[in-house]
Each structure stands twice: as C-alpha cells, then as structure tokens.
C-alpha cells in the first residue's frame, strides 16, 4: 500500500507516543494532534472549543490560506482530534463541555488511537489499515427489522 509522507510521519509519532506513554487526551501537547505536531499546543488556537470540528476566526484564516501543519489543514487537525476524543469515549455536550469517561484505561486509549488511524486513512483516501474484516473474511450483517 502506498501512503503519504504525512500519514507515515503521523503513524510513527502516534506509535511512539502510545508505547512511550506520552499519548494523553487531556494534554494539548500529548493528545493525538499534539503528538502529530511535534508536541506543540499552538493548534488549540484554531478552535474555541476542544473536541469540536468547528474552526474559529484564526482557524478559518489558516484554512482559507491553505496553511498546512505537518501536512494537515486546520480542519483536518480538528477532525483527527475529534476522532481521538470520541474513540476515547469523551462526550461533547450541547453546551460544548467535554466530559471525560468514568473509567479510563489503556484499552480506551488504544480505541482512541484506532479511531485516529482510521481518520488518517480517510483523510488520505487509503484503505483503513485498522480494518481486519478482510483478513477474517467477515462482512457485517444488518439486523432484520421487525
């Protein structure tokens, strides 16, 4: 499978962060995007609410100028972070407050990492490397409706 430089770089950084215990959804320098951006937290100024996919004024300026941060646009960065938080079972309330899961462990963190990898694949328009259904020749069946 042919992948992009940004994808390979992001995967390597996330792999190292996960195995070095430096992947943390509550730290803007150590979350998924923080690690992709070399442990910098300047990306948090692209939105007003952590966990949303909505750019603020500054984020829109960077997006409209086609600025890239380690290969990713501001909107892509917010999509990556939203996938990570959702995968880690964080909930965003209608008032845009982020609620932490009751019980947080390495399994939940790994689930968040899997969602990020899936999102990175989607952004680069490549096959989801986390999907093992082809390996097991499994197709999800829809439940019959009554």
CA–CA separation, 87 vs 92, rounded Å?
A: 12
> What confidence score (pLDDT) does residue 139 get?
64
CA–CA separation, 27 vs 39, rounded Å?
A: 10
Strand partners, 30: none
pLDDT along the chain (146 residues), means of 10: 92 96 93 96 92 94 97 97 93 75 88 95 89 63 63
pTM of the model: 0.86
> What confidence score (pLDDT) does residue 92 get?
78
């Amino acid at each position: 499978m042919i992948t992009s430089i940004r994808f390979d770089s992001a995967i390597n950084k996330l792999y190292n962060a996960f195995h070095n215990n430096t992947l943390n959804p509550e730290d803007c320098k150590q979350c998924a995007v923080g690690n992709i951006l070399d442990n910098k937290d300047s990306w948090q100024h692209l939105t007003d609410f952590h966990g949303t996919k909505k750019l603020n004024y500054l984020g829109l300026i960077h997006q409209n100028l086609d600025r890239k941060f380690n290969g990713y646009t501001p909107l892509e960065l917010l999509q990556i972070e939203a996938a990570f938080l959702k995968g880690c079972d964080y909930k965003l309330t209608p008032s845009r407050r982020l609620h932490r899961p009751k019980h947080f462990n390495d399994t939940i963190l790994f689930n968040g990492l899997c969602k990020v990898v899936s999102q990175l694949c989607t952004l680069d328009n490549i096959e989801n490397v986390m999907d093992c259904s082809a390996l097991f020749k499994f197709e999800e069946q829809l439940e019959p409706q009554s």
